[in-house]
Amino acid sequence: MTINNSTTAYTLGNMTLGQACCTPVPHLQIKKLSIAYAGNTVLDDVSLDIYKGCITALIGPSGCGKTSFLSSLNCLLALIPQASVTGHIYFDRDDIIHDAIDTMRLRRRIGMIFQKPNPFPLSIRRNLTLPLREHGVRNRYLLAEKVEQALKDVGLWDEVKDRLDGSALALSGGQQQRLCIARALVLEPEILLMDEPCSALDPIASGVVESLIKRLQGRYTVVIVTHNLAQARRVANYAAFFWMKERVGTLIEFGRCVNVFEHPRNPLTLAYVRGQAG
Amino acid sequence: MIWSKPSSLLLLPRNIDRLWQPLLAGMAVLCAVLLLLIVAFLLKEAIPALHDGGWRSFFNDQSWYPLENMFGLLPMLWASLAIVSLALLLAAPLGLANALFVRFYAPSFLVTPYRLMLALLAGMPSVVYGLWGLTVIVPIIAAYHQPGTSVLAASLVLALMILPTVALTCLAALEAVPSSLHAGAAALGMSKQGLLLGVIVPAARYGIGAGMVLATARALGETMVVLMVAGNVVQTPHSIFDPVRALTANIALEMGYATDLHRAGLFTSGLILTLLVLVLAWFAARTMHKYQYA
Amino acid sequence: MPERMFTLLIWGAALLVTGALLWLLADTVLQGVAHLSWAFIVDAPEHAGRDGGIGPILVSTLCILGVALLVSLPLGLGAAIWLAEFSRQGGFLGQIIRLSLDVLAGVPSIVYGLFGNAFFSLFLGFGFSILSGGLTLACMIIPVFIRSCEAGLSAIDHGWRHGALALGMSRSTAVWYILLPAAAPAIIAGLMLGIGRATAETAALIFTSGYVDRMPESWMDSGRALAVHIYDLSMNVTGGNAAAYASALVLVTLIVLLNVLAQAMTDRWVKRRIFSA
């Protein structure tokens, strides 16, 4: 089963069956993106394509605008007062910065996972059904089916199937994060944005979540911010290296993961991936 | 899993926020407009007095003889201030001591019931305090010094009334002091007394201070207790056994039959009272502000 | 000062205060119980309240409280939600509204009474009525209630807010299903504070809901609140103290009961939110 290059509908099997692939077709096109808070530019002139079905890792030191960049992709940055975004982000032929788009619908198609697991203070089941109901799914059986599928996709089903009506906050950190991923997947998004999804977890939970992310490859377009270079190298197909230049974040190098890590063109990248800078 | 063909982003949303946002904003504005309304109506009713007799008469006239168009507020203002300052003099140290007791001295089985008792009494209607003061405290004072209803009686009952609130706000301020400070001072081998007076209370001083000022504001605006136990005689207090009439009590006593200029005079005293309380509240807010950035 | 002296002082202060407060509590309960009976609760007052009961007064009290809550609860909650969730951070309108609420919270209750008399009773022509009294109390408790709700909403972890928005949920849905239940303890605390103040209030009611101790027949009838009844019995009726204490006991019990009820209702509401699929 392959992913069509066009934007027409395509079918994927159950996560455990489907075949992983990665086609270099831009899913998101970012052109000359700049972000400023209250007039202070934090990220300047970033142009970058995010490829469909691939995992793109954003690496670089803290404070160089990676998270701001990520939040601009689903318009979450607009929530922060005084934040301004300039440039273009093309998604599905629309410019999500300039066109009058429905951000709710956009966010349904571009899911986001946060650094700190944030399951709602509701039952496990309701954490998944609430967003579905919000997007118009009312049928009981369909809801149950989707909940089960999403939990199976993230490998949580066997752990929680007996306590779906228990509080989601009673889960462990790793389980909470996988529930959050399931909550994003249940809406069947096309793109998943992940903001250091493993950094608040212990090493074992982190490993479980990481292998889950790797399995998303080919089925979802994933953009992941991480400070863990080894992790980026393990899971990502593409890597983008951000760096601070005169207190303004900027994109230094973008390319296939192998290239960025093994044969970087920019000396800054080389120093960073070798652990000599940042 | 079927990925349905995504619909265009440009479709118009059926976003319920568009319905709710203006509705909720309207509610918020309505609540704020209340202040304008209150000020407007107080002024509207007070204007005959401010305009006609001139506002000066409130401070120049000898005393409050509304039927002879004499509206001297000063005796009642002094009475209010005397009652409140005496009440605070009693309630402040006792309230702080009680907060220290709950936080650092009370055996653990006492803490919850003690807090419950304070919370219950903080929510007790002031009219009940007034009733108790009138039937219990006033006769006791009367046995020493007639007539019993006096500055002293009002301050005692008022102090008891604001005590639970003072204790609870002090307690909140004490609990906000980070425990690392506590541990740090204890590690220096300080005695408990030195620790509390030298480290903990100073660290909580802004919270405690703000609580005290708010309690003062509340005492100043309190009507029922002073109405019931202070005696309601218009005179400047010369001893704590003098029966007096506070500003708030005056409004409650005379609103029932006041007309024209008299009514306007009462509204003016209401305005002055509000102004006094607001200055205190502003002071408390400023203290708290300092506390947050200290 | 020796350490032991200080400890003694603290314990002494605690005992003194506990003693005084228990004295007050014991007087209220003992003298109240002595005069209390079922007939006292349901009967109409006779001889200016010396005899008979407080039936109509209890009804008036609950009606006034009902009007106050009916107005202040939705209005306050709506305003709080707007301030915490919809208003722009540091926005001009939000700041103005917050400032006026702070000012309103400090206004003495007798001044609310003056305002209620001038605005509701005279200007709007409601006269001395349950409606005027209830609306005056609503004005009084709204600022406190809003600030408590807003503080509760603002204290909620931003993760939930962002999580809900990132899932493409509307703010309204996030507020209703996630943020309000999470802020329920603060909301209920504000509600209890409001109920307590409204039920205990005397000064603001004397000139808005009036003195009439008959059973009210409509919202426009004057109705005597329990707190006003206590005041009247102790100040204006000789030999009314026994009935006054019994009424005080009923009033305090009512406040405690309403608090417990409000707490229980929130608990159920929160549970239903968590466990219904």
Longest Cα separation, chain C: 68
Q: Which homologous superfamily is C36-275 in?
A: MetI-like (1.10.3720.10)
CB-based contact (8 Å) between C34 and chain B?
Answer: no
Instruction: Write down the number of H helices and E strands in chain C.
Output: 12, 2
Task: Enter the tokens of residue C19.
Answer: 């003693």
Mean of pLDDT values over A94-116? 85
Cα separation of A262 and A118, whole Å? 35
Nearest beta carbon to residue A165 from set C166, C168, C275 = C275
Q: Which residues of C touch A79 (CB under 8 A)?
A: 162, 165
| Residue contact A111–C167, C-beta within 8 A | yes
**DSSP class of residue B66?**
G
pLDDT for res B58: 76
Please report whether residue B206 resides in a domain. Answer: yes
Q: From CA A126, how far away is CA C173, in angstroms rounded?
A: 13
pLDDT band at B291 (very low <50, low <70, confident <90, very high): low
CB A84: neighbour CB atoms within 10 A? 14
Rounded to 10 degrees, the C-alpha dihedral B210/B216/B222/B227 comes to: 170
**What CATH number is attached to the domain comprising B69?**
1.10.3720.10
**Residue C120 pLDDT:** 93
pLDDT digits (tens, 9 = 90+) for B145-168: 888 888 999 999 999 999 999 999
Please name the member of B94, B114, B117 whose beta carbon is closest to the beta carbon of C16: B94
Q: Give the pLDDT band of residue A25 (cuts 50, 70, 90).
A: confident
A167 lies within 8 A of chain C by CB = yes
Judge: A107–C168 Cβ closer than 8 Å, yes or no.
yes
The pLDDT of residue B53: 60
Residue numbers of C between 255 and 274 with CB closer than 8 Å to A: 273-274
List the Cα angle A257/A263/A265 in 5-degree steps: 100
Distance, in Å, from the CA atom of A161 to the CA atom of C126, rounded to the nearest integer, reads 60
The residue ranges of DSSP E strands in chain B, in sequence order, are: 64-65, 70-71
Find the farthest-apart pair of alpha carbons in chain B and give their distance in angstroms, rounded: 91
Mean pLDDT estimate for chain B: 84
User: What pLDDT, on a 0 to 100 scale, did the predictor assign at position A13?
Assistant: 36
Backbone angles phi, psi at A102, to 5 degrees: -90, 105
Question: Which of C157, C167, C175 to mutate: most A Cβ within 10 Å?
Answer: C167
Chain-chain contact of B3 with A102 (C-beta, under 8 angstroms): no
Nearby residues of C160 by Cβ (< 8 Å), 6 or more positions away: A118, A120, A121, C174, C178, C179, C182
Nearest CA in chain B to A109: B6
> What amino acid occupies position C148?
S
For chain B, what is the domain count? 1
Residue type, C60: S
pLDDT digits (tens, 9 = 90+) for B235-254: 888 888 888 899 899 999 88
**Looking at the partner chain, which of A123, A134, A143 has a beta carbon nearest the beta carbon of C274?**
A123
Q: Is the torsion defined by CA of B135, B141, B143, B148 positive or negative?
A: negative
Q: How far apart are CA B69 and CA B65, in angstroms?
A: 6
pLDDT of residue C247: 92
Averaged confidence pLDDT in chain C:
88
State the burial class of residue A136 (Cβ atoms within 10 Å of its Cβ: 0-12, 13-18, 19+). exposed
Q: Which of residues 122-181 of C touch B (CB under 8 A)?
A: 123, 139, 142-143, 146, 170-173
pLDDT at position C186? 85
**Of residues A235 and A100, which shows the higher confidence score?**
A235
Structure tokens that stand for C168 in this block = 């493409």
Would an 8 Å CB–CB cutoff place B163 in contact with chain C?
A: yes
> Do residue A112 and residue C168 have CB atoms under 8 angstroms apart?
no
Residue B153, token pair as written in the block: 């009686």
175-194 of C, contacting A, C-beta below 8 A: 177-178, 181-182
From CA B10, how far away is CA A101, in angstroms rounded? Answer: 5
pLDDT at B13 over 80: no
pLDDT digits 0-9 by tens, B59-85? 777 778 777 777 888 888 899 999 999
- Look-up of token digits 């005992």: C15
Q: Is C270 exposed, middle or buried (0-12, 13-18, 19+ CB in 10 A)?
A: middle
Residues in chain A: 278
φ, ψ (nearest 5 deg) of residue A114: -100, 165
Query: What pLDDT is attached to residue A244?
Result: 87
pLDDT for residue A4? 38
- What pLDDT is attached to residue A1? 33
- C-alpha to C-alpha distance for B146 and B136, rounded to whole angstroms: 15
- Residue spans of the domains in chain A: they are 26-118+191-273
Torsion of CA C188, C259, C205, B42, to 10 degrees: -20
CATH architecture, domain A26-118+191-273: 3-Layer(aba) Sandwich (3.40)
Which partners does chain A have (≥3 C-beta pairs < 8 Å)?
Answer: B, C
**Nearest-5° Cα angle at B282, B279 to B288:** 145
What DSSP assignment string belongs to C181-237? HHHHHHHHHHHHHHHHHHHH--HHHHTTT-S--SPP-STTS----HHHHHHHHHHHS
Count contacts between B and C (CB, < 8 Å): 247
Q: Is the pLDDT of residue A6 over 90?
A: no
Arithmetic mean of pLDDT over chain A: 84
Q: What is the pLDDT of residue C274?
A: 57
**pLDDT of amino acid A148:** 92
Q: Which of B123, B145, B108 is nearest to B240 (CA)?
A: B145
Instruction: Indicate if the pLDDT at residue A95 is higher than 70.
Output: yes
What value does the mean pLDDT take over residues B242-269?
Answer: 87
| Residue A182 near residue A150 (C-beta atoms within 8 A) | yes
Q: Is the ipTM of this complex over 0.90?
A: no
Give me the residues of chain C with pLDDT under 50, please.
Answer: 276-277
Q: Work out the average pLDDT over B165-180.
A: 88
Over residues A161-187, mean pLDDT? 90
Distances (CA, A) of B61 to A236, B64, B263, C24, C114: 86, 8, 17, 40, 24
Kindly identify which residue of chain B lies nearest to residue A100, measuring between CA atoms: B10
How much is the pLDDT for C19?
A: 93
Find chain A residues with C-beta within 8 A of C90's C-beta.
Answer: 81
Q: Is residue B90 situated within a structural domain?
A: yes
User: Residues C254, C268: contact at Cβ < 8 Å?
Assistant: no
Give the Cα separation of C206 and B256 in Å (integer): 8
Nearest-by-CA chain B residue for C123: B41
Interface of A with B (CB under 8 A): 7-14, 91-92, 94, 96, 99-102, 104-106, 109, 149, 188, 190
Nearest to A76 among C165, C169, C275 (CB): C165
Phi, psi of A249 (to 5 degrees): -75, 145
pTM listed for this prediction? 0.83
The neighbour count for residue A177, using CB atoms within 10 Å, is 29
The answer for C 8-27 residues in CB contact with B (under 8 A) is 9-11, 13-14, 16-18, 20-25, 27
Closest C-alpha among A60, A73, A65 to residue A35: A65
Please report the pLDDT score of residue A18 as a whole number: 37
Domain span holding position B91: 64-293
Q: Of C24, C7, C160, C152, whose CA–CA distance to C76 is shortest? A: C152
C256 membership: H or E segment, kind and range: helix C241-275
Report phi then psi at A94, rounded to 5.
-100, 145
For A81, the closest of C89, C160, C177 (CB atoms) is C89
Give the C-alpha separation, A58 to C225, whole Å. Answer: 67
CB-based contact, C92 to chain A, within 8 Å: no
Q: Return the pLDDT at A14.
A: 41
**Separation in Å, CA of C110 to nearest CA in chain B:** 7
- What stretch of H or E contains C7? helix C3-35
Shortest Cα distance from A71 to chain B (angstroms)? Answer: 18
Q: Side chain identity at A155, as an amino acid letter?
A: G
Least confident piece of the model among A83-92, A225-234, C256-265: C256-265
- Answer whether B232's CB lies under 8 Å from B245's CB: yes
Q: Is the pLDDT of residue A11 over 90?
A: no
**B15·A101 Cβ contact <8 A:** no
Torsion on CA atoms B72, B78, B83, B87, rounded to nearest 10: 140
Cα atoms in the 13 Å half-sphere on the side-chain side of A93: 7
Residue of B nearest to C15 (CA): B98
Which amino acid makes up residue C257? Answer: L
Domain boundaries, chain C: 36-275
pLDDT at C252: 92
Within 8 A of C173 by CB-CB distance, chain A residues are 130, 134
Question: In this prediction, what percent of chain B has a pLDDT beyond 90?
Answer: 29
Position of tokens 């996988």? Answer: A178
CB B120 within 8 A of CB B168: no
DSSP-derived 3-state class of residue A253: strand
Q: To 5 degrees, how large is the angle CA B243–CA B245–CA B251?
A: 160
CB B229 within 8 A of CB B137: yes
